[in-house]
A and B are shown apart, each in its own frame.
Chain A
Amino acid sequence: KAGVTQTPRYLIKTRGQQVTLSCSPISGHRSVSWYQQTPGQGLQFLFEYFSETQRNKGNFPGRFSGRQFSNSRSEMNVSTLELGDSALYLCASSTGLRPNEQFFGPGTRLTVL
């Protein structure tokens, strides 16, 4: 069974630009969650999509948005990039049911200059 894939693996952008990250979950999984990981804040939850609907949202500004398609693939968008958005963005796939075991992709390393 193929794991979670994320593209691209690395991105370099400049302040003010926008970026779109992509995640393909494990086949059969309907839930996709996004996390931001930084050395200072650790892993922080951004949002979760289940069957194309945002089911849960973390405490991030509106510049961070996402969506999920009918095939469960998900995209995350960050607009008006700031230096502080530099981080490893992780996508996690799960069935969406308790006990909510999540399987992570390798992440996208975003650097904002």
Chain B
Amino acid sequence: TQLLEQSPQFLSIQEGENLTVYCNSSSVFSSLQWYRQEPGEGPVLLVTVVTGGEVKKLKRLTFQFGDARKDSSLHITAAQPGDTGLYLCAAAERAGGTSYGKLTFGQGTILTVHP
């Protein structure tokens, strides 16, 4: 059973458009991370959100953690070709749990931004 549902799986847009990627679960997590991965490389950490309702901004990227800490979203404003890649959400331990050495990943969103 997939613990984290990420949508959409694929996104193909033109440069300048906005987009949102969603990461949903029925479980409550103590924290959630977003990564970006390019072909042949390991994922690169973009942001960690910890507090319910938290919003973090990284240049044109806005990350939000749901109030109930069950879901998160990544919004990109005015996408650029350099944003192309695989975006992954990953949850650390469930709230109150002890498995903090493990991340559970969503299936990922493959984003392609055309010039």
Contacts and interface: CB of A to CB of B under 8 A. Distances in A.
B103 to A, nearest CB: 6
A18 B25 CA distance: 37
Interface residues of B, number: 26
B101 A56 contact: yes
A99 B48 contact: yes
A90 B42 contact: yes
Contacts of B33: 99, 101-102
Contacts, number: 74
A105 B31 contact: no
Contact of A45 (B40, B100, B104): B104
Nearest to B91: A100
B45 A98 contact: no
A100 B101 contact: yes
A105 to B, nearest CB: 5
Contacts of B88: 43
Interface of A: 4, 31, 33, 35, 42-45, 48, 50, 55-56, 58, 90, 92, 96-107, 109
A104 B102 CA distance: 13
Given A98-B31, A102-B45, A104-B43, A42 B107 contact: yes
A32 B22 CA distance: 28
Nearest to A103: B45
B19 interface: no
A58 B102 contact: yes
